[in-house]
Amino acid sequence: MEKTSRAQTSLSSYNNSWYKPGNIFKQVAWYIIGRITINTYLPIPMFFKILVLRVFGAKIGSNVTIKPKVNIKYPWFFIAESDIWIGENVWIDNLTTVTLCNNCCLSQGAMLLTGNHNFTKPGFDLIVKTITIESGAWIGARATVCPGVTVHSHAVLTVNSVATKDLEAYGIYQGNPCVFIKTRNLTH
């Protein structure tokens, strides 16, 4: 059998110097203050959590609930409209903009990942893409939303599922990668 020569991963050539998420002093300050106020089990009042996030550049509307031990990578890339629930241990890895629209819910342990790597390149190049969770959408416990995904209005990503592509409005999705299961019917 003839051996073919294939390119190989070379992490020594990894270079994300193009990625500049903000001033290093702001990043360090956020790392420290964020751990004390947001990514903690300390009983920090909600108004104070919101204030701290706004000071660091987050755009946050009214009636936003942020449960304990939430990780928000860079608040200056974070937009949360109004009437939003962010559950315990949610991880918002926002290397670029994450937008949460009105009345959406991120259940405990959900992950929003705006960064990934190009596995077709030897240098494992960094890729960053925005995420939008539209009004009324629900990301289930321990579910993951991948870079570039829009979860459209009132869609549901069920427990432990992974969204690698956009979810259509009012669709219920399950699995890894998730697939459409049925339509969400809301009753009065």
Domain segments of the chain: what residues? 22-183
Q: What are phi and psi of 116, to 5 degrees?
A: -155, -175
Q: Which tokens belong to 155?
A: 């869609």
Judged by DSSP in three states, 21 sits in: coil
User: What average pLDDT does the segment 82-93 reach?
Assistant: 98
38 exposure class (CB count in 10 Å sphere: 0-12, 13-18, 19+)? buried
Mapping DSSP to helix (H, G, I), strand (E, B) and coil, where does residue 54 land?
helix
CB-based contacts of 42: which residues, under 8 Å, 6+ apart? 36, 68
Quote the pLDDT of residue 6: 81
Distances (CA, A) of 86 to 34, 110, 149: 15, 9, 18
Q: What average pLDDT does this structure show over 39-57?
A: 98
* CATH code assigned to 22-183: 2.160.10.10
Mapped onto helix, strand or coil, the DSSP state of residue 182 is strand
pLDDT digits (tens, 9 = 90+) for 131-171: 999 999 999 999 999 999 999 999 999 999 999 999 999 99
